[in-house]
Structure 1
Amino acid sequence: MPSTASWSGTPSIKGSSESMRMALLTFSLVGIQFTWGIEMTYCTPYLLQLGLTKSRTSLVWVAGPLSGLIMQPVVGVLADNSKSRWGRRRPYMVVGALIVAVTLLVLGWTSEVVGLFISDPELRRPMTIALAVLSIYVVDFAINAVQASCRSLIVDTLPISKQQMGSAWASRMIGIGHLLGYVAGTIDLMGIFGTSLGDNQFKQLTVISSLGLLIAVGITCYSVQERVLISGRDTEDRASAVKLFSQILRATLHLPARIQAICWIQFWSWIGWFPFLFYSTTWVGEIYFRYNMPEGVKGSSDVLGDVGRIGSLSLVVFSVISLASSIVLPWIVKSPDNERPSFTPRPPASIAPIVTTASRFKPDLLDTWTFSHLLFAGSMILAPFVTSLGFATVLVSICGIPWALSCWAPFTFMGIEINRLSVPASSSNGNVSYNRLSTESSVEMSEDPATTLRLNHHPDDEKDEGPASSSTGELAGVYLGILNLFTTLPQFIGTFISTVAFALLEPGKSPELAHEAHPDEHHSTDGPNAIGVCLFIGAVSAVGAAYATKRLGHIQ
């Protein structure tokens, strides 16, 4: 049997209270999500303004799923085996954040950077587009490395009994970062800072985003003390990556029926969510420019800033509704876990009948999830027919409710199924009861300064018989990794759909955003908006997700 890994030091977090420690541990996610929000809000209209066609712009967004597929496992394996005296995760967080910050500034000043080396105007424009696309790829790859390290830092630092709380705080920080990013996009920064941070809205947002990411990552890195890896398991370190990918492949090909159904629900729903997340801001802005913009505003010197602010306002409402839904819905939706609690608080006699009646009529999570797909589909199926900014904003805002369910429901059902596979137990009435993963920390530390970390596993777990016989932690990692795969692959399909739709409906440069267009190109605002058509196709896919979700209730 290979030797176990040995460590030096003890993980710790600064802070006078548990809430403060959790906030400091997860604070880096605020900066990450803020940066994602700025990229999703402004980069599509920015590329269109530079003169890239919509069909080619859609290909740029392959960077997101591609970087997620490559960087997260690669950085995970490299960091797992790192013996840096600063810890395994924080060096990757700091270096990745610095790369993101510098590249964001290059993205904001692409024209100026290219102008330093190229004076020919005909050559400068394509080179500016090329540098902008390259910068977006670098940002996506680097920020995925930072994100993977931040998530792993939470797992590394907290005992098992605190993992659920750490995940909850991470979700809150992501929500805060998302909301701050969209709010920042609605503010007229030129009116506040003048030209001190740049001569347009996008440049100023890249400066703020760069500083925000560095500050957020710096706060977490300063507040957290990691263990230092002294030596890894000698025979498994070299094969860990190959073993991980082969295990995921075997598990993907032999998924249990209910887990397979959950993954397919995720697959169909994310074909719809991909165009919404990347193009909804641009779509709202284009609706404004097509139908609602006053004649006197058509000569605006910062069209990109106008589109970003208008689109961000709708996403601010979307984020507020999503955040509120994620807080309220768990209270009014019945849990799918049929394990009875050991103690049920009795409500006061004066309101007991009301509470009892309300509990009887609570919808279950499966029906609520099904309805959320239909709500998203019903909203986005109207996208090609929208002719007013107000209606576009209402449709985008409504999607905050299904987005809250999409961030919650699949992981809840996966958790139940993973627990069911990990520790199956039959109740007296023949039904399977769902057992929680261990809520107690099973980490044992020796008194030697070079401590050894041991996880208490069942002896049978030592057998290498694939995912089904793995320990609970390995089982959860494999199946959640597969769920992430079914989330990422639809983004490639969404990119293909968007590319085809843009090439057929708007083959030229954006009529709303491009500085200039060739006379032979299609650049009329007549006809359907191509992004609206992509949202419509995503709505059809969401109907498929609703059907798959309904079927989940009939799978044993």
Structure 2
Amino acid sequence: MTSPAQWAGTPSVKGSSEAVKMALLTTSLIGLQFTWGVEMTYCTPYLLELGLTKSKISLVWIAGPLSGLIMQPIVGVIADRSKSRYGRRRPFMVGGTALVSLFLLLLGWTREVVEVFVTEKEAVREATIALAVLSIYGIDFAINAVQASCRGLIVDTLPIPKQQLGSSWASRMVAVGHLIGYGAGAIDLAKVFGPTLGNTQFKQLTAVSALALCITVGVTSWAVNERVLVSNGKEEQEELGGMQVLQTIFKTATNLPRGIAAICLVQFWAWIGWFPFLFYSTTWVGEIYLRYDAPAEAKEAGDLTGQVGRIGSLSLIAFSTITFVMSVILPWFVKSPEDERPGFTPRPPASIASFVIEVEKFKPSLLTTWTISHCIFAASMILAPFVHSLRGATILVSICGISWAISCWAPFTFLGIEINRLSAPGGQHYTPVHRASIELDSPIQLHLNHDFGESNTSSTGEGSGVYLGIMNLYTTLPQFVGTAISWVVFSLLEPGKSPELAKEAHPDEHNSTDGPNAIAVCLFIGALSAAVAALSTRRLKRVSNY
């Protein structure tokens, strides 16, 4: 029989109120999402400008799912067993951030770096493309280590009753990161910074992104104190080798508890839909503008990459604004999964008890809300091939902000609760404490009590890294499917260079814009997958108590 894990200290977050504590705990996600936003907004038009075809770019974006497939589970397993005196997650957050910043700057200045070593024109072009692709891979691999650690830190730090609150705060910070990132992309940064951070919009964005990530991860790392693992309580060898890490991941992935398996299935179908949206929607909006709405002088003005990025960013500003508003408002109107478990009775103050209890009857469950979010996304993206105006494209992208807010919140709430239920005494059983008020306690004690005799809401979150990593497998595997779909669609519909953007890199070539937009077709296929995700979400209700 193995002994339980032994820990030193208790997790805590600096701050005088619940809101401040939650904000500091999730601040790192602002910089993280800013960086993802810059990559997803500008890298596709940047690579198109360098001369890559859309079908080849779809293969470049294998970097995202490949890095997630490899890095997040491995980092999760290793971090779960880490005995660093700085905690299990923060060393990976800080180290990964340094690497991401380095590769961001390399991506922004690829041509300048290449020209130091190569002078022949065609060789410079080919080497610039190769170094840009290498930089994207470096960013994706490093940022996945940061993301795995940031999410794991939230699950580790919060007790079960606060998992939904933590996930909703994380969703808000993701929206803020998107909003700031797309806002920066929509501004002509050259007019703001001059040549200080580079002579192009793309260079300046990569520099700002690197700085933002360093600051936000630094704030969370400073504010959060982790427990330190003293002994993992297992009789087997303390140090994990490469094969042991893979065996741990495989064993866990093939023996998932029913609830976690159902959550992962939903993520699989949902992310087949989200992949083309997140990576190509900015380019799609910009291409719609150039194809249908742009005046002739705009097409002749040059820097089409910058134009596409700025126009696309404006639509994603609306998307991120709606995401942020929804992530703030919806938690007040949606039942927490904890509230739906047997034995829970809300106890509001007597003065408003009748009103609150009446309102509670009409609140949808988080599960129902998640299902509706898939339907909203599907209904929006199924219209993408029929849009012929910048306004129409912007409206569809904006509406998806509702679905994204819930998608950044719901799966992590359910997974956090499942993980902590499994690590609590009795494994599968959890009964929430009857709270004195349905209002949030303020300030809360952001620490876990490991004397299980005193509280049945305590948890260790011991397996949070590996379970979060496995859910990420179900987020990244569909991206391979999405990449394959994109490659086929782009190869069939736009086998040459982007008809809207090719003129800048290849002014002598003629490229027709009369055919269907290939990205719109990919978005349509993603909508069909989102409809399957909605059906899969209903299955989660049958296998869990939500």
Instruction: Give the TM-score normalised by the residue count of structure 2.
Output: 0.83
More displaced stretch, 11-20 vs 214-223 = 11-20
Q: Report the residue type matching 1:531 in the other structure.
A: I
Alignment of 1:368-407 (within 5 A): 368-407=369-408
Over residues 410-468 of structure 1, what are the superposed CA-to-partner deviations in whole Å (9 max), with x where a residue is unaligned? 3455566668878899xxxxxx9963499983336xxxxxxxxxx8899xxxxxxxxxx
Q: CA deviation at 1:31?
A: 1.5
Alignment of 1:233-272 (within 5 A): 235-239=236-240, 245-246=246-247, 248-250=249-251, 252-253=253-254, 259-272=260-273
Structure 1 residue matching 2:93: 3-state secondary structure:
helix
Aligned-partner Cα distance in 1 for 2:178–2:520: 23
Distance 1:369 1:227, change over 3 A: closer
Number of residue pairs matched by the alignment: 525
Aligned-partner Cα distance in 1 for 2:274–2:506: 30
Match of 2:296 in 1: 295
Match of 2:279 in 1: 278
More displaced stretch, 15-24 vs 273-282 = 15-24
Q: CA deviation at 1:103?
A: 1.4
Match of 2:44 in 1: 44
Match of 1:451 in 2: none
Aligned-partner Cα distance in 2 for 1:553–1:11: 32
More displaced stretch, 26-35 vs 163-172 = 163-172
Aligned-partner Cα distance in 2 for 1:181–1:281: 13
Distance 1:409 1:169, change over 3 A: closer
Match of 1:516 in 2: 505
Structure 2 residue matching 1:523: 3-state secondary structure:
coil
Match of 2:441 in 1: none
> Is this contact kept in 2: 1:365–1:409, CA < 8 A?
yes
Q: CA deviation at 1:379?
A: 1.0
> Is this contact kept in 1: 2:55–2:486, CA < 8 A?
yes
More displaced stretch, 526-535 vs 212-221 = 212-221
Q: Which runs of 5+ in 1 are unaligned?
A: 426-431, 445-454, 459-470
Structure 2 residue matching 1:443: 3-state secondary structure:
coil
> Is this contact kept in 2: 1:93–1:146, CA < 8 A?
yes
Over residues 477-522 of structure 1, what are the superposed CA-to-partner deviations in whole Å (9 max), with x where a residue is unaligned? 6655443322221111001101111111111111222333497x88
Q: Report the residue type matching 2:28 in the other structure.
A: S
Pick from 445, 448, 468: which aligns with 1:441? 448
Match of 1:339 in 2: 342
Alignment of 1:104-143 (within 5 A): 104-143=104-143
Match of 2:519 in 1: 531
More displaced stretch, 539-548 vs 435-444 = 435-444
Aligned-partner Cα distance in 2 for 1:227–1:259: 25
Aligned-partner Cα distance in 2 for 1:370–1:361: 17
Aligned-partner Cα distance in 1 for 2:56–2:20: 45
- Higher Cα radius of gyration: 1
Aligned-partner Cα distance in 2 for 1:512–1:404: 31
Match of 1:34 in 2: 34
Match of 2:74 in 1: 74
More displaced stretch, 30-39 vs 150-159 = 150-159
Structure 1 residue matching 2:180: 3-state secondary structure:
helix
Structure 2 residue matching 1:508: 3-state secondary structure:
coil
Structure 1 residue matching 2:379: 3-state secondary structure:
helix
Alignment of 1:413-428 (within 5 A): 413-414=414-415
Q: Report the residue type matching 1:495 in the other structure.
A: T
Q: CA deviation at 1:404?
A: 2.2
Q: CA deviation at 1:7?
A: 7.0
Aligned-partner Cα distance in 2 for 1:213–1:415: 25
Alignment of 1:128-277 (within 5 A): 128-154=128-154, 166-224=166-224, 235-239=236-240, 245-246=246-247, 248-250=249-251, 252-253=253-254, 259-277=260-278
Match of 1:465 in 2: none
Aligned-partner Cα distance in 1 for 2:169–2:89: 19
Structure 1 residue matching 2:96: 3-state secondary structure:
helix
Q: CA deviation at 1:548?
A: 2.9
Distance 1:329 1:83, change over 3 A: closer
Q: CA deviation at 1:472?
A: 7.8
Distance 1:371 1:155, change over 3 A: closer
Aligned-partner Cα distance in 1 for 2:389–2:324: 26
Using the aligned pairs only, state the percent identity.
Answer: 62
More displaced stretch, 476-485 vs 112-121 = 476-485
Structure 2 residue matching 1:509: 3-state secondary structure:
coil
Distance 1:522 1:365, change over 3 A: farther
Aligned-partner Cα distance in 1 for 2:153–2:335: 32
Aligned-partner Cα distance in 2 for 1:375–1:158: 31
Q: Which runs of 5+ in 2 are unaligned?
A: 435-445
Q: CA deviation at 1:368?
A: 3.5
Give yes or no for the alignment of 1:542 onto 2:530.
Answer: yes
Match of 1:62 in 2: 62
Instruction: Give the TM-score normalised by the residue count of structure 1.
Output: 0.82
Give yes or no for the alignment of 1:492 onto 2:480.
Answer: yes
Structure 1 residue matching 2:319: 3-state secondary structure:
helix
